[in-house]
Amino acid sequence: MRGTVVSSAALPFDIAPILGAVEYRAPATGSFDRAALLAALGDADALICLLTVAVDEALLEAAPGLRVVANFAVGYDNVDVAAATRRGVAVANTPGALTEATADFTFALLLGAARRLAEGDRLVRSGAWTGWAPGQHLGADVFGAELGLIGFGRIGQAVARRARGFSMTVRYTNGSGAVAPADQAHGAVRVELDELLARSDVVSLHCPLTPATRHIIDAAALAAMKPGAVLVNTARGACVDEAALVAALDRGHLGAAGLDVFEHEPAVPAPLRACARVLLAPHAGSATTTARRRMAETCARAVRAALDGRAPETVVNPEIYQT
């Protein structure tokens, strides 16, 4: 297999043994800016890209020989899949590579937000802590709480498995409207969104970003949640109306929130940063060495398969291989 592979960003893992005999272009550090990336793609056969890269008509036009886009993420809302399909370009992602890491991180945010860990950390660091007091930093119970999952794919199901250890009641809703085959194994029950919001002590998002899920948590959804409930988002920032979330927290309707993603990241609105009851993380759900290495290797295997004329195992538009 020969060809030219471009990575939009420097990867901290050696994928050369998987790629084989290709020319590999990547920035020495950081990421290519848009102009440099388009220039590098002029004669490229494959692109490995981060979710911050818009794979749109302009990029595809700049890379007429492109055969595959391997997105270094599970979600691929940054890729115009229809445009890629029209051009015969395979699009692949990294499902499974980061499932357990992201589920772990979801529970870290859930526990941290419910028990106000960031606030406690700031208090101790400030030197203003005066010692234990019965009413200090009271949070919400997690053990035995009711958990609502918006989205019940690999990550949602992994979160449900962890919830069993906390004796949580788990309900979920998904875009397809179908009952997930694994729901009984995880002790989860499918409900409609309005019931999930009304009954859950914790609502956690695990859905892809689509027109239907953009701002699925808006002012009306937040008002429908239990007073004192906790919201966790490790999916996509635009699934939550951030201004409405701040308003719900400021008026005391919600107890707390734990957010790993933001609508216009890395920009985070000042009111959200100033809100004491929000635990903020820098899109770190998959940030373990094991998960990120698996993501890099999954992308490399997808590139190699496509350049060999095979459909990558993680292809999201397999129709281009149908004859």
Q: How far apart are CA 170 and CA 147, in angstroms?
A: 5
Burial label, 8 (beta-carbon count in 10 A; 0-12, 13-18, 19+)? buried
Known catalytic residue at 301: no
Distances (CA, A) of 276 to 117, 137, 251: 11, 12, 13
Cβ atoms 293, 13 nearer than 8 A = yes
Catalytic entry in 154, 162, 171, 236: 236
Please spell the DSSP secondary structure of 257-295, one letter per residue: EEES--TBTTB--HHHHH-TTEEE--S-TT-SHHHHHHH
Catalytic entry in 146, 195, 265, 297: 265
Please spell the DSSP secondary structure of 131-173, one letter per residue: ---TTTT-----TT-EEEEE--SHHHHHHHHHHHTTT-EEEEE
Catalytic entry in 161, 214, 283, 293: 283
The secondary structure element, H or E, covering residue 174 is: none
Known catalytic residue at 23: no
Known catalytic residue at 186: no
68 φ, ψ to 5°? -155, 140
Nearest to 36 by CA among 46, 25, 45: 25
Within 13 Å, how many C-alpha atoms sit on residue 192's CB side?
3
Tokens representing residue 322 in the block: 């149908």
47 φ, ψ to 5°? -130, 125
> Residue 50: left (phi > 0), alpha (psi -120 to 50), or beta?
beta
Contacts of 102 (CB under 8 A, 6+ apart): 155, 158, 234, 285, 286, 291
Q: Which residues are designated catalytic?
A: 236, 265, 283
